[in-house]
């Protein structure tokens, strides 16, 4: 069964052929700004498995990052919903923003990254690996 999702306004719909290879939470300042929240929840899926069934996302190249690498941030050009991110160091994987998934009931983070910029009021679940920086 394919995983599906969409943006807030419904202009973009996507499907993913296989389950995520990884799930996590990014606490970097850029993800906070991009999400408009304290962190960004992510599901790493194979690039080849992601297909848009309606619409095409717009791209913002985020070059001012703590890692020094440019993050490709794909979003809905109509409502602004962030859909996924991609990084050059992992060309075969994209990172879906899990809030756009139609069914989020299975999401459980397997790691927290960039915890050195985590909001102080955010509590992390015990037993989930954390990294001060990226991974």
Instruction: Name every residue whose Cβ is closer than 8 Å to that of residue 40 and which is 6 or more positions away in sequence.
Output: 25, 26, 31, 32, 34, 82, 97
74 contacts 59 by C-beta, under 8 angstroms: yes
Question: Domain residues of the chain, as ranges?
Answer: 3-117
Structure-block tokens of residue 78: 């109509």
Using alpha carbons, list the distances in angstroms from residue 63 to 1, 69, 73, 94. Answer: 36, 6, 10, 17
Model confidence over 104-128: pLDDT tens digits? 999 999 999 999 999 999 999 999 9
Structure-block tokens of residue 80: 């602004």
pTM: 0.89
CATH class of 3-117: mainly beta
pLDDT of amino acid 4: 97
């Amino acid at each position: 069964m394919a995983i599906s999702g969409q943006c807030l306004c419904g202009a973009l719909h996507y499907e993913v052929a296989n389950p995520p290879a990884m799930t996590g939470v990014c606490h970097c300042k850029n993800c906070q700004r991009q999400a408009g929240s304290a962190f960004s929840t992510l599901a790493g899926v194979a690039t080849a498995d992601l297909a848009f069934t309606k619409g095409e996302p717009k791209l913002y190249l985020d070059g001012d990052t703590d890692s020094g690498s440019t993050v490709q941030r794909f979003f809905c050009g109509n409502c602004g919903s962030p859909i996924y991110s991609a990084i050059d160091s992992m060309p075969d994987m994209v990172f879906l923003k899990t809030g756009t998934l139609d069914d989020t009931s299975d999401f459980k983070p397997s790691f927290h990254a960039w915890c050195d910029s985590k909001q102080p009021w955010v509590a992390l679940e015990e037993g989930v690996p954390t990294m001060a920086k990226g991974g």
